[in-house]
Structure 1
Amino acid sequence: MKQLQFVLLLFTIFPTITFSQQLTLEGRVVNEQDEALLGAHIHINNRFVLAGENGSYRIGALKEGEHRINVSYIGFRTLDTLISLAEDTVVNFKLKEDAAALEEVFINSHARRRSSENIEKVNKKYLQEQFSGSLATSLERLPGVNASEIGAGASKPIIRGIGFNRVAVTENGIKQEGQQWGADHGLEIDAFSVEDIEIIKGVGAIEHGSDAIGGVIKIINDRVPGEGLSGEVIGLTKSVNNTLTASTNLALRNKRFFYKIKATGSEFGDYSVPTDTIVYLNRNVPIFNNRLKNTAGKEINLYGQVGYLGEHYKGSLSISNVYFKSGFFPGAHGIPSTNRVQDDGDQRNIEYPFQRVNHLKLINKNEWFFHNFKLEAILGFQNNHRQEWSRFHTHYTGQLAPAVNPDLELNFDLNTYDAQVKFTKDFIENHTTSIGVQTQLQDNTISGYNFLLPEYARVNQGIYATHSYRVSKNINLNAGARLDLSKIKIESFYDSNLYEYLIGNGSTTATATDYATRSEQTTRNFSNVNVMAGALFNFHKNWDFSINTGTSFRLPTAIELGANGIHHGSFRHERGDSNLDPEKGYVLDTKLNYRKNDLKASLSPYLYYFENYIFLNPSGRFSILPHAGQVYQFTQSEALLTGVEFDFYTAFAEKWHTQFTFEYLYNRQVTSDKSRNFPLPFTPPVNGFLEIGYDFSHKSKTFKNTEIFANSTFAFQQERVAQNEEITPGYQVFGGGLRTNIEIANFKAAINLQVSNIFNTKYFNHTNFYRALEIPEMGRNIQLMVKIPIK
């Protein structure tokens, strides 16, 4: 109750003074042909309006003096300028089509920052150019971003060494909810359907709640398309696993209404690795023909959206479905066996064991815009249905195969319902306050002949407020607070077959009951308060500096509270603790930016401290379950994480450009026993990326914006490893390619040809799911993408 009173009191102290109308700015937003740009975004100070049907806009209640204005529209260069007002003024804005390659890839790369948040912004063109099999791996060249991969098409993002349930991924305001707790579970989002992405590092939990302790990846898929029919058709092929992918994005806009249809189909075979043997559980496992058996897969994704754009309203209804099926390398599931990895002569078939996941998502987003306030309401529904299939096997006598789907080992069916409202208002000049309320309901059911995750139901509720104050044109301040209330109910699960097996092998009744009680019925209530504050200083026309500090949190998952069984995906017996508390973190994040002409550089030092970081700790005792090994217990301890990111881009000598990113990260557990202060698991090593490119044939009528490039990715040896992790040697791999746009009469196409790991180097990625099996990264890969625009 005290926490609730605290937040309510915080809301009441925000300014509530209204102001009378003073000066008015109005006009039109058009293109170079003087055609109206309906739905153009006009930002002035902290206020926002949309251009009407004839491109007109009107903003009232402005004070005399200088104001910063930002006008943007998809496909056009953003206009960022200052306007001095002494009386009611009419200003018309004419936007130019965006033809600059850099601005197409890095949004607002030269514009001054308007928020203290540490944000990286990329758009669809960047994702397509950097596509490497999944959304998470396509973001790895951004500073501080890595990926945890399993196979060739599934991965999840890691931000500053923090991943899994500690990175929130949202689409149009709705948090993606699946079985993201598992290292062998990917992120079920179609990378080809993504329009824009914002990556928030540091303080991200105020608006996004639990799971944002490491950062937020915001996917924006409701951009208003241009009038008429537009879109693209994409074809992709990869040599490393014989990928064949086709994707199409179509958009139709007719004045107020707009429609989008997106579809992607992909099929790939077993991928090649530069080795013929791996070592797992002290056994040599052969890799025949340098192909990792049963890593083939397929993906079918569909997306539809209908939207409406009015003078004061923008709304959209989106529905998407992602289907993914891929095999598990047989040597990574259960006990290693040479017979199971024998070449079957078919590189594209999917045999047991395999995973199959279907993610259905509906999002209804509504926004009302007025002169000095905005109201946003979002409703969402998700169904994540994940299955793991393996030929029925039992580790103890007495267990019979299910009558239905006898080879279904694990089945998780998660339903998530979301509702949220956000109100934003300019109460007085240069002061903007947002207040939001969020509710989420979850229900997860299970089946299958094995047990790992219990059934559970969860309710999460949050209320938050943020306030920003533009002190001057060079200084912005912001602050926020959030209260979360959550309840989780975990169902019990008792394995009578296991009990009889253990009793028959001489275990005591108490021991047999303890192991056979795979999950106890548990009800937990959680509450948490978070605060944050930040400042942005534009202290020079080319320099800015931001600092953010605050708290963040994460609620324990059902797997951490109630697991008790063999997790084949992680090769161990995992056991939860129903008494775990929510993770609580403290963050200090800074960023120094420099921009001048075609040079951009940033330096980002940061520090995280966790009071009670949750991790799997080797218990020192062996499980009595057959083939289980050591028991790993979910536990908590203090933890420290710090590091620095560096990003540099420049164009020089007219046709050359280069990009360099570098990341250093250090972390460790903090316990009373210093000998147990191990690093946190899945910690990326010191790593970096360097690319240099050359632009040529500017005068060619057929080939336009042609670029050749060469790059290198490197990592130092990771010898600071968590318990049960292997030291990972350092590496350096090289790549290169060519990008060009072809125009022949009315035919246009964008060609992107690139080669990665040119020298077929054998190396290991410390954050890869298969690292524990000594399976190296993929071998040489030649990738060709062809994109044909539709207008």
Structure 2
Amino acid sequence: MMKKVRLIFAILLINFVNPLFASNLAEIKGKVIDATTNEPLSGATIYIADLKATTISNANGEFLIKNLPSKGKFLIEVRYVGYKTISQLIDLTDAQSLKFSLQQAVIESAEVVITGTPFSSNNKTNSLAVVSVNREKLTQAGGTNLIDAISKVPGISQVTTGGAISKPTIRGLGYNRVLTIIDGAREEAQQWGDEHGVEVDQFSAARIEILKGPASLLYGSDALGGVINIIEDFVPAEGDFNGNFTTNYATNNGLSASSLMMQGNTDGLVYRGRVSYKNAYGFGYAGKTVPNAGFNETNASGMIGLNKAWGYTHLNLSRFNTNIGLVEEGPDDDGNFTDEDGNLITKHDARNRKLVLPYQNINHYRAVLSSNVLLGGGQLKSNFAFQKNIRKEFEESKDAPGLHLNLNSYTYDVKYSFANKGVWEPTIGLQGMYQDNVNNGDEYLIPDYNSNNIGFFGYLKRNFTKGAVNFGLRYDYKTVTGKDLTEDGEQVFKPFENNFSNVSGSIGISYEVAKDLVFRANAGSGFRAPNIAELGANGRHEGTFRYEIGNSNLKQETSAQFDLGLEYTAEHITFGLNAYSNRIYNYIYPGNFNNETTPFTDEDGISTSLPVYRFVQTDADLVGGEASVDFHLIKAIHFENTFAYVKGTNRANDLPLPFIPAASLNNEIRFEPTLKGLHDSFFKIGLTNVFKQSRFDSFETQTNGYTLLDVGVGTSFKVKKGKINVWVTGQNLTDKLYFNHLSRYKPEGIYNQGRNMSFGISVPL
């Protein structure tokens, strides 16, 4: 298998190099002006996503993009702060001077998106709405990590393990049901684990696109619940060389985080480099600091590629390294943390940045070759990736890990979109992945295994004046082989070989029923094969306070989801409403049944018992919706409100499903004054209202509701190289004691993070 993968890489690399000698070049030029005053707009961004081509308008509002193909239709996007974003399909065969007249608007219209579609498209033509969160909003959220920063998007929740680890949940579905895409390739980093977060440099995200609902048609297994697509920076304009330095500090856990990035474009040769570092001690609440809850993180990444008339090809390389302290037990009856001898751990000692046992060490290496070659009038897009995830857990000694997992993943994704005139848009695709995992430690949780899966799909989109319809079919086949392991005469893992296959499909429509009012409807099926922990786990999971036992007889999950949406965007108000019903057959979840426990002796010889969680299946229903109403009655003032609710039901006994997030209501008032000499100034105050979660499984407990107060203030001012941004944000200003229902520390009586202030600055280079 390895030889085949290397051969495919070599052949494709040769094919991508050959077009370098193509000589058919085109360019587009134009001007961006104010629609009312006809004044030129300097600094507008002009972007063609399918070609990764971008430029910025000059002082006269003029722009020029070179090294484009001589023919083909592509969607071009023009954005400028304070104006409606517009997109237009352009034909490069008849390239003319373009003029974009932008209208001033309090509300910026939806961006062009790339998630949930084989090619970039206006979000209004997608039957499943994609939510886009840009870098500014990510920064101003003041999150301790990337998932924390998007957790207030309606329908998005997070499974937290302290301040270091957040796992995304979309409409009540998480773990291997949500697919994370980084550098265009699916992330493979042992996502089955409670404390296995998204392993990506948060500073590298220019924006995040979130697709809610089953996306198995285009992404295969593990996209049953949705997709989180982390998108890198725009490629700089030709002849441009720039950079950025960002740093911030947070008071709650002493988090210091900094990142340096430089990038350039020399005659279509594009390149980027970034290094980042984060360090924090344990988070705190109500005057207490959780010992050994700190972490440190070092990231390095680079990109080199070519943007030419035949398309583009980019090679992304990255290394993510983190050390995360693991909390073994919660506070005593008085709320104090003590060591193994019962001695009180002082706040000063708990804030030591040096981790002690136990802790995790994770290295994740990623290499992704992404290309779009214009071929036969169509587009051949491909992503080939290799990822190595090395996960070590040190419990008894810092010299030798107990649990030591080494996962290698090879993924490929090839799509061909046929030539079209902007009406019929057909695409066919081939995707697959090969994995092998090896245990190198003396403790075990999952067996050595390998898996192989392949999927084929066909997708067709029909555009019309006021919307679009789309439909498609897909077939997947996957094998998972678990290896036998016998130690000291005792069988730790029994061998198994499971095969899974499925046909899935989707049909949807997006239609502008009236001016500024868009209706969406989608019916889709999803598919997910059981992950290796669900099939073969047998061991104590450090940091989750439980013993897990898998079931190799589990069947695959399949789902049928119906989604309805209504979106209204006017000059001073936006309104959105989404409702969904998702039935999942053979839904897999871990449960502690009949209070089952198993004896456990730690490294100090202290005996205790751990709850046993076994993976079982049932048919399940998840029903819910999201609503948003944003008022902008005065240009400088924004009043934004969102609500999200999901109800999970076990159809076997009509009882609640476990691990379902509580309903939430978010309100935020944002004031954006015009200040002389300053730009993008804002002041915001928000309330996060999380309702009581009274629907829970027998092994869970009720979680009370709570309200958190957040504030933020920031501005920017222009310098020769761009704009310097400064901001201050505050979270949970009242220092509210609360448990999030999805917190992995809740069973141990450890509250979520208390008051936190974050100070940041971003400087162009």
State TM-score, norm by structure 2: 0.85
Write the distance in 1 (CA, Å) between the matches of 2:274 and 2:727.
Answer: 21
Alignment of 1:489-500 (within 5 A): 489-496=481-488
How far apart are 1:202 and its partner, in Å?
Answer: 1.2
Is the alpha carbon distance of 1:172 and 1:263 closer, same or farther for their aligned partners in structure 2, counting shifts above 3 Å?
Answer: same
Write the distance in 1 (CA, Å) between the matches of 2:595 and 2:41.
Answer: 75
Aligned residues: 702
Q: Which residue of 1 aligns with 2:250?
A: 238
Kept in 2, the 8 Å contact 1:202–1:215? The answer is: yes
Any unmatched runs of 5+ in structure 1?
1-25, 63-68, 275-288, 393-404, 500-515
How far apart are 1:49 and its partner, in Å?
Answer: 9.7
Write the distance in 1 (CA, Å) between the matches of 2:353 and 2:53.
Answer: 52
Q: Which residue of 1 aligns with 2:342?
A: 339
Write the distance in 2 (CA, Å) between the matches of 1:630 and 1:187.
Answer: 27
Question: Which has the larger displacement, 438-447 or 636-645?
Answer: 438-447
Question: How big is the alpha-carbon RMSD for the aligned residues of Structure 1 and Structure 2?
Answer: 3.3
Q: Letter of the aligned partner of 1:311 in structure 2?
A: A
Any unmatched runs of 5+ in structure 2?
1-25, 33-39, 56-63, 114-120, 332-337, 601-607
SS at match of 2:230: strand
Q: Which residue of 2 aligns with 1:398?
A: none
Q: Letter of the aligned partner of 1:339 in structure 2?
A: G
Q: Which residue of 2 aligns with 1:258?
A: 270
Q: Which residue of 2 aligns with 1:468?
A: 461
Write the distance in 2 (CA, Å) between the matches of 1:98 and 1:221.
Answer: 28
Which of 321, 327, 333 aligns to 2:325? It is: 327
Write the distance in 2 (CA, Å) between the matches of 1:131 and 1:608.
Answer: 32
- 1:683 equivalent in alignment to 2:686: no
Per-residue CA shift, 1:711-748, capped at 9, x if unaligned? 11011111111232121100001011211113478784
Which of 605, 622, 645 aligns to 2:579? It is: 605
- 1:656 equivalent in alignment to 2:628: no
Q: Which residue of 2 aligns with 1:116?
A: 127
Kept in 2, the 8 Å contact 1:681–1:722? The answer is: yes
Which of 188, 191, 204 aligns to 2:199? It is: 188
Write the distance in 1 (CA, Å) between the matches of 2:694 and 2:49.
Answer: 51
Q: Which residue of 2 aligns with 1:560?
A: 534
How far apart are 1:54 and its partner, in Å?
Answer: 3.8
Kept in 1, the 8 Å contact 2:87–2:122? The answer is: no
Q: Which residue of 2 aligns with 1:359?
A: 364
Question: Which has the larger displacement, 340-349 or 240-249?
Answer: 340-349
How far apart are 1:184 and its partner, in Å?
Answer: 1.5
Alignment of 1:175-214 (within 5 A): 175-214=186-225
Kept in 2, the 8 Å contact 1:620–1:631? The answer is: no
Kept in 2, the 8 Å contact 1:602–1:648? The answer is: yes
Per-residue CA shift, 1:664-690, capped at 9, x if unaligned? 11011111xx3xx43222211010211
Q: Which residue of 2 aligns with 1:571?
A: 545
How far apart are 1:172 and its partner, in Å?
Answer: 3.2
Which of 332, 354, 363 aligns to 1:349? It is: 354
How far apart are 1:376 and its partner, in Å?
Answer: 1.0
- 1:636 equivalent in alignment to 2:643: no
Is the alpha carbon distance of 1:156 and 1:48 closer, same or farther for their aligned partners in structure 2, counting shifts above 3 Å?
Answer: closer
Which of 628, 632, 637 aligns to 1:647? It is: 628
How far apart are 1:122 and its partner, in Å?
Answer: 2.1
- 1:373 equivalent in alignment to 2:348: no
Question: Which has the larger displacement, 421-430 or 593-602?
Answer: 421-430
- 1:80 equivalent in alignment to 2:86: yes
Write the distance in 2 (CA, Å) between the matches of 1:162 and 1:103.
Answer: 30
Is the alpha carbon distance of 1:486 and 1:31 closer, same or farther for their aligned partners in structure 2, counting shifts above 3 Å?
Answer: same
Q: Letter of the aligned partner of 1:778 in structure 2?
A: Q
Which of 311, 318, 322 aligns to 1:313? It is: 311
Is the alpha carbon distance of 1:101 and 1:555 closer, same or farther for their aligned partners in structure 2, counting shifts above 3 Å?
Answer: farther
Write the distance in 1 (CA, Å) between the matches of 2:141 and 2:42.
Answer: 34
Write the distance in 2 (CA, Å) between the matches of 1:621 and 1:517.
Answer: 25
Per-residue CA shift, 1:455-507, capped at 9, x if unaligned? 1011111111111112x2113110111111111110112232xx6xxxxxxxx
How far apart are 1:115 and its partner, in Å?
Answer: 1.7
How far apart are 1:568 and its partner, in Å?
Answer: 3.5
Per-residue CA shift, 1:491-524, capped at 9, x if unaligned? 112232xx6xxxxxxxxxxxxxxxx422101111
Write the distance in 1 (CA, Å) between the matches of 2:210 and 2:412.
Answer: 23
Kept in 2, the 8 Å contact 1:693–1:710? The answer is: yes
Write the distance in 2 (CA, Å) between the matches of 1:105 and 1:540.
Answer: 17
Q: Letter of the aligned partner of 1:620 in structure 2?
A: N
Per-residue CA shift, 1:557-609, capped at 9, x if unaligned? 11111112222333222211111111111111111100012422210101110
- The percentage of counterpart residues that share the same residue type is 25
Is the alpha carbon distance of 1:112 and 1:164 closer, same or farther for their aligned partners in structure 2, counting shifts above 3 Å?
Answer: closer
State TM-score, norm by structure 1: 0.82
Per-residue CA shift, 1:142-170, capped at 9, x if unaligned? 11111111121221111111111110001
Write the distance in 2 (CA, Å) between the matches of 1:379 and 1:613.
Answer: 31
Q: Which residue of 2 aligns with 1:400?
A: none
SS at match of 1:577: coil
Per-residue CA shift, 1:117-137, capped at 9, x if unaligned? 221112222222224111111
Write the distance in 2 (CA, Å) between the matches of 1:757 and 1:79.
Answer: 34
Write the distance in 2 (CA, Å) between the matches of 1:630 and 1:36.
Answer: 59
Alignment of 1:247-646 (within 5 A): 247-274=259-286, 290-331=288-329, 337=340, 339=342, 342-343=345-346, 345=349, 346-369=351-374, 372-391=377-396, 407-426=400-419, 430-470=423-463, 472-496=464-488, 516-620=490-594, 622-623=596-597, 625-626=599-600, 627-646=608-627
Q: Letter of the aligned partner of 1:80 in structure 2?
A: I
Write the distance in 1 (CA, Å) between the matches of 2:234 and 2:102.
Answer: 16
How far apart are 1:82 and its partner, in Å?
Answer: 7.3
Q: Which residue of 2 aligns with 1:174?
A: 185
Kept in 1, the 8 Å contact 2:659–2:742? The answer is: yes
Q: Letter of the aligned partner of 1:159 in structure 2?
A: I
SS at match of 2:702: coil
Q: Which residue of 2 aligns with 1:693?
A: 670
Q: Letter of the aligned partner of 1:239 in structure 2?
A: T
Q: Which residue of 1 aligns with 2:689?
A: 714
Write the distance in 1 (CA, Å) between the matches of 2:456 and 2:684.
Answer: 48
Write the distance in 2 (CA, Å) between the matches of 1:414 and 1:581.
Answer: 24
Per-residue CA shift, 1:232-275, capped at 9, x if unaligned? 1101000001111111222111121111111111111122112x
Alignment of 1:151-170 (within 5 A): 151-170=162-181
Write the distance in 2 (CA, Å) between the matches of 1:81 and 1:383.
Answer: 39
Write the distance in 2 (CA, Å) between the matches of 1:111 and 1:652.
Answer: 26
Per-residue CA shift, 1:65-116, capped at 9, x if unaligned? xxxx85226878786367999xx976422468999896599778x9761221
SS at match of 2:418: strand
Kept in 2, the 8 Å contact 1:441–1:460? The answer is: yes
Q: Letter of the aligned partner of 1:238 in structure 2?
A: A
SS at match of 1:207: helix
Kept in 1, the 8 Å contact 2:454–2:477? The answer is: yes
How far apart are 1:380 and its partner, in Å?
Answer: 0.4
Write the distance in 2 (CA, Å) between the matches of 1:82 and 1:560.
Answer: 47
Kept in 1, the 8 Å contact 2:54–2:236? The answer is: no
Write the distance in 1 (CA, Å) between the matches of 2:388 and 2:436.
Answer: 10
Write the distance in 1 (CA, Å) between the matches of 2:317 and 2:457.
Answer: 28
